[in-house]
Structure 1
Amino acid sequence: MRKSLALPLVTAVAVLGLSAPAQAAPADRPQELIAQLQQLLPADYEQRVAEFDRRLGIDDDLSDVARAVLNPDDYECESTQLKDWLNSTIAGWTDEDRLGASILLLVNTPMYDALFFPEPEQQRFFGLDGEYTTVLRRTFPDLKRFWDIDASGIEMLPAHGNAMLDTARTARVLQVVFGSSPEEAREAAEAVREVAGLPVYDNGDAPIFTFNAFAYSPEGVEVPGVGLPTDKIVVGDGVLAGFRSVGLGDVAPQAILGHEFGHHIQYQQGLRESDLPAPEATRRTELMADSFSSYFLAHRRGANMRWVRIKHFIDAFGNIGDCNFDSPNHHGTPNQRTRAAEWGTLMGVLALPPFYRVVPSRTLAASFDKALPRMVRPDAPRQVELTPAEKTAGRI
């Protein structure tokens, strides 16, 4: 897998609740716009997106998921503030609204556009109003200096939901992903613009469309119509808005960026290889990236955050835990991601003066693998079992 998500981009069916037949939407909802968009996309557009991602190496190997399903009863796993906030942003949507959003999510203009057609660096801004541009631009070179990889070719890109309102950008995405003709792509892109521009989607800025961040390395795989993409880290507006809304906006951008940079360390250092089956293998790489990020954030020669902010970024990692035990994209429960962040933090603060040595990434990864069983140990409350003597006493 060459693309790694900081947050699992949960399927439209799971997030938007489309398992039930759509109910009739109010008469003032422009249902015809959504129907028109469906008609203008290829009939098998969902399968084409899946096949396109497979060619790029974006999806995970599902071959051993069945035998690798984790037992949910072994783990304590509940919703988080961040997930509750995301659900609240779509709570008032009708089934028709959710259907339209699911189609826009599959076309995925914001992410594909950032991946294949990056804007010039001077035009890039992070956050809906550019509020995180300064902190991310300051943190990115710090990460490059801190770690022992060649990061000169990695680009940092934003993903903005309102990119869906730009028909030229959507059209070129449709040509690349679906192989549409220029004429077909322009017509479908206009339909995307009209649907994304509906008030319910906040002109494309509804958080669900960019509630994601990922690292990508092409590893020699060229994309027809694009060529060989560069190594990238893409950060969506939606996930930044979410963390700000739950009070973690002061540290979450740096934590997300550090996590995604951790994946590029894994790419270059060959740290993704594992004998673990999915989803344990994905969980390992994600928790390792959490640890790498936390190590940088706490280290004296890294971000050098103080304890109040350390607590905040540990909370940030816990908030992106998930309970998708039967998914190959399972990233770890909230408790497990919290433990990984705590472990990385302790490794960072233990760096001693006068030189505050930075541990080589391979060495840190080896230490992480030794600690991993403790991070992922079952933690669900167990039913109390009585001893034979206790059972006998209970009958007296």
Structure 2
Amino acid sequence: MTKTRSLALATALTLTLGVGIGAGTGAASAATSVATPAATSATSTSFVAPNGYTYDFANATTNDPKAAAALAKVRAALPSDWRSRQAAVAKRLKVEPSSAREALERAIDPTQYQCSPTALDAYVDQILSGIDYSNLFFLATTGALDVPTYDSLLFGSPTDPRYALPAAYRNELTSAFRKAQGFWDIDGSNIQLMAMHGDVLRDQARLTRTLAVMYEVPESQVAGLAQAIGEVVASDPGLQKGANPIFTLNAFAFSAEGDPDPVVAGVPDKLIFGDGILAALEAIGVGDVGPRAVLGHEYGHHVQYDKDLFNSPLTGPEATRRTELMADAFGTYFVTHKRGLALNSARVLQAERSFYAVGDCSFTSAGHHGTPNQRLKASTWGFSVADSAQKQGHILPSLTLDAQFEAKLPEFVAPDA
């Protein structure tokens, strides 16, 4: 069955709610569906965009003169293996690159699953609509869309005001974070809570520093690229000088525990919120509870890290889907439990809607998080475990909750179409 693919670039511009960046897992991306240009073939990586030009994200080629000229300057400045260097660093840091990844075979048969666009998909359409295709292609191909992620991951600190949580959410998220630290049966005292912002794209020094790490070259070698990226971000009104939510439309957990790479091992455990994900949750109508639900999900990943719950016989998309649905369940268990955030019934519905909205239809992607229905089922189950407990003040050990989740997982992922 031929799959009509969404714009690869838009697939790259993903909401990584539930991203598990760290030991034993890649940053799982929940791909969004936006404007769908025609794919040249069922297995091609080239796409004809509405502007008439063809973009090949896998090979970094295009017949768009503007984008081609920009990439020519990149090739002239960087080593010939610049693409493989970029991929190698992403692999070392467990960051899923922002590029389209199509599997040769489907992980699950999408004809058996209900999977349709959500409110989040419409929001992504909206924030992409005003951006020039040439600029999007250039930013995606050069890794610029990942810069805020790398910057906060490698250089961010909760004591540095440049990585401070937005004032409107700071108290709410900090309070929920501290509650989670006392709720779960792991030592979360070393986890750092912070934000990432698109303003790094306007800071040439930070931008250059980050690109140097991403390409494993001296800063002098990427200074020109940093300047070019800065000019694109400053000149395209749709990019809002880096403030467009697309640059920070994610939240993620990171742990280097057990990683032999000294560079990776030196990065502290982190839980990072992007401005974009907070804006998205507000836009789709779950701004009241959504941020705390996301925090509960991401802290659930830290429980998985600590308890070695990423390991399973599953591989590829199905493995990622398992860990993401588990984090949905753990997160909702925490935010609804009497000794957690104790959300009332109306807010429970908002929490469930939050997870439904970030479901995805990327069945073949290694970052497949689960369909909207699957994520809703996992979240609803997490609430039911907390709500139906005979001893409302009792918190289940995380391994006990995991065992119950594993028993229910086949029901969550069963065909529903």
Provide TM-score, normalisation by structure 1. Answer: 0.84
The equivalent of 1:294 in structure 2 is: 332
C-alpha RMSD over aligned residues:
3.1
Alignment of 1:212 with 2:250, yes or no, is: yes
Cα offset, 1:250, TM superposition: 0.7
Gaps of 5+ in 2: 1-21, 40-45, 54-65, 98-102
Question: Does the Cα contact within 8 Å between 1:6 and 1:256 map onto a contact in 2?
Answer: no
Cα offset, 1:231, TM superposition: 1.0
**SS of alignment partner, residue 82 of structure 1:** helix
- What is the identity, as a one-letter code, of the residue corresponding to 2:165? F
Counterpart pick for 1:203 among 228, 236, 241? 241
Deviates more, 1:333-342 or 1:259-268: 259-268
Counterpart pick for 1:8 among 14, 30, 35? 30
Alignment of 1:261 with 2:299, yes or no, is: yes
CA distance in 2, matches of 1:16, 1:267: 40
Alignment of 1:19 with 2:74, yes or no, is: no
Alignment of 1:51 with 2:79, yes or no, is: no
Cα offset, 1:350, TM superposition: 2.2
The equivalent of 1:385 in structure 2 is: none
Cα offset, 1:38, TM superposition: 6.2
CA distance in 1, matches of 2:136, 2:193: 30
Deviates more, 1:113-122 or 1:132-141: 113-122
The equivalent of 1:349 in structure 2 is: 387
Cα offset, 1:211, TM superposition: 1.0
Cα offset, 1:95, TM superposition: 2.3
In the TM superposition, what whole-angstrom CA distance separates every residue of 1:36-66 from its partner, at most 9, and x where no partner exists?
5565455543322211122234459xxxx65
Cα offset, 1:147, TM superposition: 0.2
Deviates more, 1:304-313 or 1:40-49: 40-49
Deviates more, 1:146-155 or 1:226-235: 226-235
CA distance in 2, matches of 1:189, 1:205: 17
Question: Does the Cα contact within 8 Å between 1:212 and 1:239 map onto a contact in 2?
Answer: yes
Alignment of 1:97 with 2:119, yes or no, is: no
Counterpart pick for 2:228 among 172, 191, 200? 191
- What is the identity, as a one-letter code, of the residue corresponding to 1:125? A
Going from structure 1 to structure 2, the CA distance change for 1:249 and 1:174 (only over 3 Å counts) comes to same
The equivalent of 1:139 in structure 2 is: 176
CA distance in 1, matches of 2:171, 2:242: 24
Question: Does the Cα contact within 8 Å between 2:34 and 2:125 map onto a contact in 1?
Answer: no
Alignment of 1:229 with 2:257, yes or no, is: no
CA distance in 2, matches of 1:13, 1:232: 34
CA distance in 1, matches of 2:311, 2:338: 30
The equivalent of 2:186 in structure 1 is: 149
Alignment of 1:335 with 2:373, yes or no, is: yes
Deviates more, 1:222-231 or 1:290-299: 222-231
Question: Does the Cα contact within 8 Å between 1:12 and 1:105 map onto a contact in 2?
Answer: no
The equivalent of 2:314 in structure 1 is: 276
**SS of alignment partner, residue 121 of structure 1:** coil
CA distance in 1, matches of 2:390, 2:377: 22
CA distance in 1, matches of 2:231, 2:33: 23
Going from structure 1 to structure 2, the CA distance change for 1:68 and 1:188 (only over 3 Å counts) comes to closer
- What is the identity, as a one-letter code, of the residue corresponding to 2:131? W
Cα offset, 1:227, TM superposition: 6.4
Cα offset, 1:177, TM superposition: 1.8
In the TM superposition, what whole-angstrom CA distance separates every residue of 1:96-117 from its partner, at most 9, and x where no partner exists?
1322332464562200010010
- What is the identity, as a one-letter code, of the residue corresponding to 2:48? A
Counterpart pick for 2:165 among 126, 135, 143? 126
Going from structure 1 to structure 2, the CA distance change for 1:213 and 1:185 (only over 3 Å counts) comes to same
CA distance in 1, matches of 2:204, 2:34: 23
Alignment of 1:174 with 2:211, yes or no, is: yes
Cα offset, 1:235, TM superposition: 1.4
In the TM superposition, what whole-angstrom CA distance separates every residue of 1:316-375 from its partner, at most 9, and x where no partner exists?
00000001111121110000000000000111122345x610000000000000011111
Deviates more, 1:284-293 or 1:212-221: 212-221
Deviates more, 1:194-203 or 1:222-231: 222-231
Deviates more, 1:308-317 or 1:35-44: 35-44
**SS of alignment partner, residue 48 of structure 2:** coil
% identity of equivalent residues:
36
Question: Does the Cα contact within 8 Å between 1:4 and 1:214 map onto a contact in 2?
Answer: no
- What is the identity, as a one-letter code, of the residue corresponding to 1:118? G
Cα offset, 1:217, TM superposition: 1.2
Gaps of 5+ in 1: 381-396
What is the total number of aligned residue pairs between the two structures? 371
CA distance in 2, matches of 1:94, 1:285: 36
The equivalent of 1:324 in structure 2 is: 362
User: Where in structure 2 are the equivalents of 1:58-77 lying within 5 Å?
Assistant: 58-59=95-96, 69-77=107-115
Cα offset, 1:16, TM superposition: 13
The equivalent of 1:84 in structure 2 is: 122
Going from structure 1 to structure 2, the CA distance change for 1:338 and 1:211 (only over 3 Å counts) comes to same
CA distance in 1, matches of 2:350, 2:387: 16
Question: Does the Cα contact within 8 Å between 1:222 and 1:229 map onto a contact in 2?
Answer: no
Q: Whose Rg is larger?
A: 1
